[in-house]
Structure 1
Amino acid sequence: MKILLVGEYSRLHNSLKEGLQALGHEVILVSTGDHFKKFPSDILLKRRFNSGITKKFKVGIYKIFGIDITSIVLKKQFFSHKEKFKNFDVVQLINESPFSIAANEEKEIISFLRKHNKKLFLLSCGADYSSIKFAFEKKLRYSIFNPLFDGKVSEKDFAPALKYLNPDFKALHNFIFKKMDGVIASDLDYHIPLKGQEKYRGLIPNPINTSLLEQPPFSIDEKIIIFHGINRVNYFKKGNDYFEAALSKIEKKYASKVEIITVESLPYSEYISAYNSAHILLDQVFSYDQGYNALEAMAKGKVVFTGAETEFLECYNLKENEVCINALPDLEYLFQKLEELILNPKQLIEISNNARKFIEREHNYISVAEKYLETWKL
């Protein structure tokens, strides 16, 4: 098959591409590299007017004319390569807004892709209309909107997520769902809102290329190292404030037993190397399942605090704390879980080994690619 993957978040499409290529398929990936993360693409579209004086110019143009020049420039880049985006058996979008530009520009690009290729599939991955609406209407026990509901942040701070509820992005959602052949969820956080929808093709676990992720020896000779990576833009949505508060307590009580590493907004290649020495990695609080960063860390044998709710345990037939630690928006709970691991380091070794085996069993990039191929044929 000839496959076009459109957009990239957290290396998902790169790993899927590697799995598909291992199975003998021709794959092209086009994306913007996902902002500061700088993921590779076969065709890399560059975002313009996003910093310094040029950003101020862009903001001024938008305020006066209501025009987003970043979106227009990126759309022109896409169409300058338009002959390369035709005659594919399958086109898959990473998200309803795969290039993170204005809805009208996304619609023009997706219209072109629909017209010139055989099948169009959508991934529910990252914020989209279905998941944001479901969470905003408080249909989950907790969600990324807890900080907003609790008054920690304003709606302006949540504008990147709330934009999916605006009329133009709702219209984009409706357009894609009418034109596409199916939608696939990348984990349970997107599966739950999509259940029962007509074109929903089910959950396919994130593909992880473990051949690129070695599991270093897990030894605890001196201090237990805890890694906390912060994306400042998503600080409250990821629950970083809960993690920082818990780490503050841990540091005061167990200064002689732990070392804490904190980094902010690193490119992907630097981020994944920065936590190599860590035993514990703090990922995110407001999720039911693991996102891509957590899965890659688990593949490297890290004990990850992330989403591991009852729904996840039931889906994969696991016990609590077997492959990772369920992170909750509760300071005392997080402190107690960290304390338990610090005082019982043998648990760290057991969870580390289980985590790697789980990724190899459920997230192998080649077997996951096979699941995509089966789904695309429907």
Structure 2
Amino acid sequence: MLNVLKTYQRYKMKILLIGEYSRLHNSLKEGLEKLGHQVTIIGFGDHFKQFPVDIQFHLKYQAGVSRFIKRIVYKTLKIDLVSRDIEKQFDVIKKQLTQFDVVQLINENAFNTVPKTEKKLLDYIFKHNKNVFLMSCGTDYTSVNFALNKGFEYSIFTPYFEGKVSKKSNYYALKFTSDAYKDLHKYIFKNIQGVIASDMDYHLPLNDNPKYLGMVPNPINTDILEYSPIKIENKIVIFHGVNSSKFYVKGNDLFDEALKTIQAKYADKVDIITVTNLPYTDYIEAFNKAHIVLDQVYAYDQGFNALEAMAKGKVVFTGAEQEWLDFYNLAENTVAINALPDVKTIVEKLEWLIENPHYIEDISKNARAFIEKEHNYILMAEKYLSIWTQHSKN
């Protein structure tokens, strides 16, 4: 197997990455290209975040009269115009999506269509490519059911359990519990070579799944994320980036409450920056001056925004649970701050940093070192290549 792996690593592979969340596939592509492979990304660019893709799908019927028409047509005829339009876009370019050495789906709903259409598009992918892999990234059947069954102490469904989020507004996640999405899940797992988790929030639900091939930490391109050593000279800058569609799911309401207390108590020591729904490039620019970044609450591990902030030397409030500490053999509050779903605790941790600014400088250095060691995009690309190679058909 080792000789086969070395052969595959020398061989210039043709790789198709379907879908994009939070720049994951872009960073993976950059690592794979550094290793000499040919990579194509198709997808939507993750909506308002506007990540680059090689083949662009466009989401129509998202606002105004067209959105109203879409809803009426679905309600009366049960026809999803968005899915129908994406299928038409797919048909135009589908001949470009064949004979890849490896295909990877970002998620169980990578084409963002209803299950019937999703299966139709995936059927073409499966028939024309031998080795298709799935990422567990974003909500999917396995992680959603694990969370709903209280497999986590807290999760993205905690606001739903607490009545902060309605069933309707949480549809994007709850849809995976429906019979149609369960059937899609089974269809995908029947046809893939295996599934790879992107972090602990997806690793834990998959642990006993026979199709599970292991976790590969999110790849971060440290070459394009400049590290700036933190020196506290004047006020401490706290940055809070909000995705309005996931305001409660990310715990932004808890951060808001905590910041009110901090602003009232430490107005002479802190500057607070809050931004909403910024495209990726603007978001990165906005938090450059920050010392502390408030990312998300209901997670056990870090997502992409947190990891990229850590790469730039920010002290990030995010998922950093004991399972994550154990996995990487870390001590608490040395690399990232675990943002628990409790305003009082968030305030206390912010106060600790404000009153002991030397810890901010220490954590900043540790965060960058951690990303370089555990999330380097080239090292992670090599891990993907290893898994793909070991589990591919000849």
- The TM-score bracket by the shorter chain reads over 0.9
CA distance in 1, matches of 2:229, 2:209: 45
- Out of 22, 30, 34, the position equivalent to 1:18 is 30
CA distance in 1, matches of 2:116, 2:33: 33
Match of 1:120 in 2: 132
Match of 2:192 in 1: 180
Match of 1:149 in 2: 161
Amino acid paired to 2:285: S
Match of 1:317 in 2: 329
CA distance in 1, matches of 2:379, 2:235: 38
Amino acid paired to 2:77: F
Figure out how many residues of one structure are paired with residues of the other and give that number: 378
Q: Does 1:349 pair with 2:361?
A: yes
Amino acid paired to 1:303: V
> CA deviation digits over 1:223-275, x for unaligned, max 9?
10000011111111101111000000000000110000000111111111110
Identity %: 56
- Out of 49, 62, 65, the position equivalent to 1:50 is 62
Q: CA deviation at 1:219?
A: 2.0
- Out of 294, 297, 313, the position equivalent to 1:301 is 313
Q: CA deviation at 1:153?
A: 2.0
> CA deviation digits over 1:123-147, x for unaligned, max 9?
0000000000000111111111111
Amino acid paired to 1:154: S
CA distance in 1, matches of 2:220, 2:255: 26
Q: CA deviation at 1:211?
A: 0.6
5+ unaligned residues in a row in structure 2: which ranges? 1-12
CA distance in 1, matches of 2:139, 2:55: 24
CA distance in 2, matches of 1:203, 1:71: 31
Provide the secondary structure at the position in 1 that maps to 2:72. Answer: helix
Q: CA deviation at 1:318?
A: 0.4
- Out of 178, 187, 190, the position equivalent to 1:166 is 178
Q: CA deviation at 1:216?
A: 2.2
5+ unaligned residues in a row in structure 1: which ranges? none
RMSD: 0.7
TM-score (norm 1): 0.99
Match of 1:215 in 2: 227
CA distance in 2, matches of 1:187, 1:153: 25
Match of 1:241 in 2: 253
CA distance in 1, matches of 2:370, 2:327: 13
Match of 1:332 in 2: 344
CA distance in 1, matches of 2:359, 2:245: 33
CA distance in 2, matches of 1:184, 1:87: 22
Provide the secondary structure at the position in 2 that maps to 1:212. Answer: coil
Provide the secondary structure at the position in 2 that maps to 1:277. Answer: coil
Matching of residues 255-266 of structure 1 within 5 Å:
255-266=267-278
Provide the secondary structure at the position in 2 that maps to 1:49. Answer: coil
Match of 2:75 in 1: 63
Match of 2:46 in 1: 34
CA distance in 2, matches of 1:364, 1:78: 33
CA distance in 1, matches of 2:170, 2:26: 28
- Asked if structure 1 preserves the Cα contact closer than 8 Å seen for 2:229 and 2:364, the reply is no
